[in-house]
Amino acid sequence: MKPICLETQILNKYKTKIFRELIKLVWNENLDNIDDIPKNILENVKKESIQDVDENTIINLIRVILGLNPLESNGDTRLKDMIYESMNLDKVDMPIISIIDDACKYCDNTKYECLIKNKHINCNKQSTCSACGECISKCKLGAISDKIEFIPIINILKNKKNPVYVILAPAFTGQFGEDVSSGILRGALKSIGFKDMIEVALAADILTVIEAYHYYDHIQNNNKDYFITSCCCPVWVSLIKSKFPEIASNISSSVSPMIACGRIIKSLNPAAKVVFIGPCIAKKKEAISEGLKGAVDFVLTFQELDEIFKALDVDLLHIKEDNRLESSYCGRIYAKSGGVSKSIEVALKEIDEYIKFNPISFQGSKECIKGLEKLINKEIDATFIEGMGCKGGCIGGPKKLISLEKGIKYMDKHLQESELKTPFDNLNVAQFLLEIGIKKIEDLGDKNQDKIQQIFKRNIEK
């Protein structure tokens, strides 16, 4: 048996090609010859001198692209049937990260340590897997992959029964090109059938105030030494709950900006479908987690959206901008490590400018673990603890399109251009809070609704 060339991550290479081809065929409702795709892919693989890849490997790769689980045994492998199954999904199920076991036999295990065979990962242990995606990058074969959730969205866009809203992560800036603004992305998404696009940074503005009140109550009323923010990284929260449960009670009860944004949209339009787009794999798991599911229906990554635009011939340079001012500096900076801390500090000054606030932030899973160990051992003197699973924060996410260095550069420019400096300057926040009503703010994880309303009313009247 000739081993696959591991340096190329050959399955990931074909994952991209197959995904783009499936988008075109499903979008154009051209499914007559779709069952030929696995055979055609196999022929291309063999041309690259990879002789022994079998059809089951390709079929299971396609199933992951369709948002389905790999087949554990021989079943119906007609691609058309699988596509119809995918198109009728109302959600993608666990596990988000799948292993194509059939491919493992082609791996040259003499050169690389295998995370699967050495029991370092177990995709079936959903309680401990944060879906951070680190295992995907370490599999030299490309046999570990996160499910793609776009094919089910096509069906919803086509039947037009439900309006579909995109909520866009704050880390978008610069990802699709230096001159591609949120207005261009909104226009592009509308051009393929989405009802509208809302920046998650708007929800981050709202969560800034909520988190500030949580911190205030935690420090003042519970006599606790420190407060752990829950915004906005699911990897961070999962890490604490699985490895450091003794300090989990110090985590804020608020939801992430992604969940908050989805809940706000659905409170205003219960028929709406919500699709989150960002650089993160873990958000796919967060969206279907117990206690959070229902706010966001599907999650796409920046890399997947880039392929969608290419497949559908969407030229971002020729899209008319659909601009509107939605977020403040505080909401936008959530994309950077340490950004939540800076935002909360601003909001706290509106509540009590004399309250003690001594923040510390960690970035990357290794630094987060070391930092939490020091926290437990009382080696850190901080009152506000922030962590993000990726270096640099969300702009360093596993499905980003540009380097972290470029991401920081474009984000800093985006922040400098902010017309609104705080959530209290953002009339969009006040309008959303008024429209969803005081009781609905509780869905975002807060019990200080009346106080929050008073602060915004005071700032509006200034």
Q: Which residues contact 130 (CB under 8 A, 6 or more apart)?
A: 234, 235, 238, 239, 242, 282, 285, 389
**pLDDT tens digits for range 192-224:** 999 999 999 999 998 998 889 889 888 887 666
Q: Which of 413, 405, 421 is nearest to 181 (CA)?
A: 413
**pLDDT tens digits for range 101-138:** 777 777 765 444 565 555 455 555 555 688 888 888 87
- Percent above pLDDT 70 for the chain: 83
pTM listed for this prediction: 0.90
Q: What is the pLDDT of residue 54?
A: 73
Q: Which of 172, 165, 170, 169 is nearest to 196 (CA)?
A: 165
Range of weakest confidence among 296-310, 372-386, 427-441: 427-441
432 against 66, higher pLDDT: 66
**pLDDT tens digits for range 59-83:** 888 999 999 998 876 656 688 889 9
Confidence of residue 5 (pLDDT cuts 50, 70, 90): very low
Q: Which residues contact 283 (CB under 8 A, 6 or more apart)?
A: 234, 258, 276, 296, 299
Q: Which of 209, 210, 227 is nearest to 218 (CA)?
A: 227
- Percent above pLDDT 90 for the chain: 56
Q: What is the pLDDT of residue 450?
A: 60
Is 421's pLDDT higher than 50? yes
User: How far apart are the C-alpha atoms of 84 and 336, rounded to whole Å?
Assistant: 40
Is 4's pLDDT higher than 60? no
Q: What is the mean pLDDT of residues 432-446?
A: 58
Q: What is the mean pLDDT of residues 374-393?
A: 95
Range of weakest confidence among 111-125, 304-318, 337-351, 406-420: 111-125
149 close to 91: Cβ distance less than 8 angstroms? no
389 close to 130: Cβ distance less than 8 angstroms? yes
Q: What is the pLDDT of residue 8?
A: 46
Residue 338 in tokens: 């340490």
Rounded alpha-carbon distances, angstroms, from residue 253 to 50, 211, 213, 250: 51, 9, 11, 9
CA dihedral 443, 445, 447, 452 (to 10 degrees): -90
Helix, strand, coil percentages, rounded to 5, for the chain: 50, 10, 40
Is 295's pLDDT higher than 80? yes
The Cα diameter of the chain in Å comes to 75
452 against 305, higher pLDDT: 305
The sheet with strand 227-228 has its strands ordered as: 227-228, 384-388, 359-363
Q: What is the pLDDT of residue 405?
A: 97
